[in-house]
Structure 1
Amino acid sequence: MTTPAESDAPRGRITENIVHFARTLRRAGMPVGPASVVDAVRAVEVAGIRNRDDLYWTLHAVFVRKRDQRAVFDEAFRIYWKSRGLVEKLLSILSPVAPPRGEPDKPKAAQTRVAQAFQATRERRREDEREEMEIDARFTASGREVLQRKDFAQMSAQEIATAKAALRRMVLPMEKVRRRRLVAAPRGRIDPRKTLRASLRTGGDMIDLRHRRPEEKRPPIVALCDISGSMSQYTRILLHFLHALTEERRNVHTFLFGTRLTNVTRQLRMKDPDEALIACTDGVEDWSGGTRIATALADFNRHWSRRVLSGGPIVLLVTDGLERDTDEDLAREIDRLHRSCRRLIWLNPLLRFDRFEARARGVRAMLPHVDEFRAVHSLEAVEDLCKALSGSARTLTAATDPRRWLRGG
């Protein structure tokens, strides 16, 4: 007869391994919370484990919520449970005979990010047993310089987390523009009406001059971000920058488009950045799918331009310009967008390549209707964008002139 301590030991080992596996997924970038871990443990206990596929699909049903998370989960499951042989240990606990383990398939995606997350989880388990002080090279001067110039697509999970924190701390010193509305000011033009009212209070014995000047206000910002398969990883990181920008000033509107246009301004106004990003991904049905730039711009110009393009806004268009339907509709819609805003800045991650040339028909159709053409693949590129939107860097440089790329770069 088994004692209660012996019967609880296998369950404790199963729970412990599932918890550490969830940590690996979290470090790899998947939103796995404590509630999901509890559900996973209960699902394994209820469903039972007869073979490796049962454990895989049971945990897959609990942890995977988006299509782009499948590759991360598959690679994490392969590395974690194969290297330690934990599946066979669990099978030996729950069944008398464990089936032989087959050779897993060759990893296809997310191998680097999951491997580093797995390594971080293993180091975390070692730190639980002994406390030791380590020096992180990312916080040295050379580490920061490398991280500033590193491509978002080549960053590990820890570097992406550091980049997200840096994007949230960035300040956008945008200049104020003059408007037609006049406001009270200590100096400026004389306000006859208020001057007359002030003199009537003293019986006309003394004239108190009142002044007014044009109101200065920061222009609104409208971001149109591509979430197609080639742009989703860049857009996901830039949403952290837009979230911090939305929290700082209220006149920021963000739209996501793939095959359709989705307004995520309300989601980005949540205080917690992780909750805001999860709400954005849950509210979009075409994430990491195809792209229809002309259709999305037509939808924006028709239904949203009059609502959000008032006050001379600055529009940030984040896309690689690889449009399948490159007819005259694309040029017409982006020309209409250009005429409706104060400045149209195109942010294209393809500019990270030194030999980039504007040969695609979609790129050549859009370039004549933008004011600036900038890269958006690294922290350094985002910092350059912040400087460009400030009053000190308003002049158009040769590197950001769209006419340069139309002439052949």
Structure 2
Amino acid sequence: MTAPLALSPLPAAARPLVGFASLLRANGFAVAPEQVVAFLAGVDLLGPRSIEDVRKAAVATIAPPRERRDTFDALFDAHFLGAAGEPEDADDWQADDDMKVEEEGVGQDILIGEEVHETGREATSAEALAVRQLRPPDDGDTLRRFTRALPEALPRRRGYRHRRARRGPGIDLAASLKAAIRNDGEVMALKRWRRSTRVRPILLLIDVSGSMKQRSDANLALAHALVHAAPRVEVFTFGTRLTRLTTALKRRNRSRALAIAADLVADWDGGTRIGDALQAFLAVPRFAGYARGAVVLILSDGLERGDPGAMIRSVQRLAARAHRIDWLSPLAADSGYRPETEGLAAIRPFITSLANGATTAAVCRHVLSLGRERAA
């Protein structure tokens, strides 16, 4: 009989990092297994050269709630630096049996804020981890027409390769000489070339917080259609944390793809921390590379409840990498809409357009209009 395979022991260098995640769970922080894996990868990516690199990796991947950042830092110092003292609210935290879920045999405490708004009409800073089942889209015909029209309407840019053309700025010497050989050395006409064009990548960022509750299902269905109609698309969701859904949405069956995506997103209908989510996105070089030269589509109402300064700085850095940023908000359905929140008003100079995102048809029309730009 074949002996069962033994699990490889955890490397000694990784034990303090995994122990920190356990310490956070014991003090009421919601830390998913994939966040622990991302934390380890982030530390490996940063070196680390100092303990502050470890702290940055922890903040970017675990994304502690803004209101509990002091507790997070105190636990970090106590665990890695041996700082004396306990976090201020450590004694006040009491785990409630109704607030625990079991995942792969390990209990995880889930922090549920009291500010969660069930109607989805207001933004909140509280983090609520939830499971959601996405409904099939009601506008399937709109998505089918969008999928057929998109390949020809995708925004493009000039590439570095050349292709033959009847008219062009350069002379294709090799093709001209080949044509001359067929005419006994007589050059009858000069062949021309021009630079080819390439489809620009698309980065889709979807707000799944409580204030966008009514649009979350439709926006995920639109993302699935976009992934299968365009060659280079990356999809992320954000609320109180950042989740990459590109791989899940690549499945051809829409119902299956949306079901997997719904399981991956843990912060449905919770708080809104746009700045923290964008900072986490830009902190990972591989993710930040997706924005280089891309058309960035942000489906959000912009009701930031975190630090507006973080949102402003993140959008400014994102705009420096991207070709353009289009912010599609349900509130912009009114032609007289003007951004009122501090964060959205401040980032207005960095975004190309603030357009209507109230319906799937409106979002599709806007995306199809992007291809009318001249390739630059």
Q: Which amino acid aligns with 2:178?
A: A
Is 1:257 aligned to 2:238, yes or no? yes
CA deviation vs aligned residue, 1:101-143 (integer Å, no higher than 9, x gap): xxxxxxx989xxxxxxxxxxxxxxxxxxxxxxxxxxxxxxxxx
Give the alignment partner of residue 206 of structure 2, picking from 219, 225, 228: 225
RMSD of Structure 2 on Structure 1 (CA): 3.2
Query: Match for residue 345 of structure 1?
Result: 326
Is 1:174 aligned to 2:131, yes or no? no
Q: CA deviation at 1:335?
A: 0.7
Query: Match for residue 369 of structure 2?
Result: 388
Extract structure 1 runs of 4+ deviating beyond 6 A: 199-204
Query: Match for residue 185 of structure 1?
Result: 165
Q: Which amino acid aligns with 1:166?
A: T
Query: Match for residue 174 of structure 2?
Result: 194
Q: Which amino acid aligns with 2:227?
A: T
Query: Match for residue 134 of structure 1?
Result: none
Is 1:309 aligned to 2:291, yes or no? yes
Query: Match for residue 228 of structure 2?
Result: 247
Query: Match for residue 365 of structure 1?
Result: 346
Q: CA deviation at 1:263?
A: 1.2
Structure 2 distance, partners of 1:392, 1:222, is 18
Query: Match for residue 288 of structure 1?
Result: 269
Query: Match for residue 83 of structure 2?
Result: none
Secondary structure in 2 matching 1:390: helix
Q: Which amino acid aligns with 1:308?
A: Y
**Is the 1:190–1:209 contact (alpha carbons within 8 Å) kept by the matching residues of 2?**
no
Which structure has greater strand proportion?
A: 2
Q: 1:300 to 1:193 in 2, by over 3 A?
A: farther
Structure 1 distance, partners of 2:170, 2:178, is 13
Sequence identity of aligned pairs in percent?
Answer: 29
TM superposition score normalised by structure 1: 0.52
Q: CA deviation at 1:203?
A: 11
Q: 1:197 to 1:234 in 2, by over 3 A?
A: same
CA deviation vs aligned residue, 1:338-390 (integer Å, no higher than 9, x gap): 12111110011122357744222222222221110011112442243134313
Q: Which amino acid aligns with 1:176?
A: R
Q: 5+ unaligned residues in a row in structure 1: which ranges? A: 1-107, 111-156, 395-409
Q: 1:366 to 1:197 in 2, by over 3 A?
A: same
Q: How many residues align?
A: 239
Q: 1:269 to 1:236 in 2, by over 3 A?
A: same
Q: 1:201 to 1:321 in 2, by over 3 A?
A: same
CA deviation vs aligned residue, 1:275-312 (integer Å, no higher than 9, x gap): 111111111121222221111111222324553234x2
Which structure has greater helix proportion?
A: 1
CA deviation vs aligned residue, 1:51-94 (integer Å, no higher than 9, x gap): xxxxxxxxxxxxxxxxxxxxxxxxxxxxxxxxxxxxxxxxxxxx
Secondary structure in 2 matching 1:182: strand
Q: CA deviation at 1:256?
A: 0.8
Q: 1:355 to 1:215 in 2, by over 3 A?
A: closer
Query: Match for residue 7 of structure 1?
Result: none
CA deviation vs aligned residue, 1:17-63 (integer Å, no higher than 9, x gap): xxxxxxxxxxxxxxxxxxxxxxxxxxxxxxxxxxxxxxxxxxxxxxx
Give the alignment partner of residue 377 of structure 1, picking from 351, 354, 358: 358
Whose relative contact order is higher, 1 or 2, with alpha carbons under 8 Å and at least 6 apart? Answer: 2
Query: Match for residue 267 of structure 1?
Result: 248
Structure 2 distance, partners of 1:356, 1:188, is 45
Secondary structure in 1 matching 2:138: helix
Q: CA deviation at 1:204?
A: 7.6
Structure 2 distance, partners of 1:169, 1:194, is 43
Q: Which amino acid aligns with 1:178?
A: R
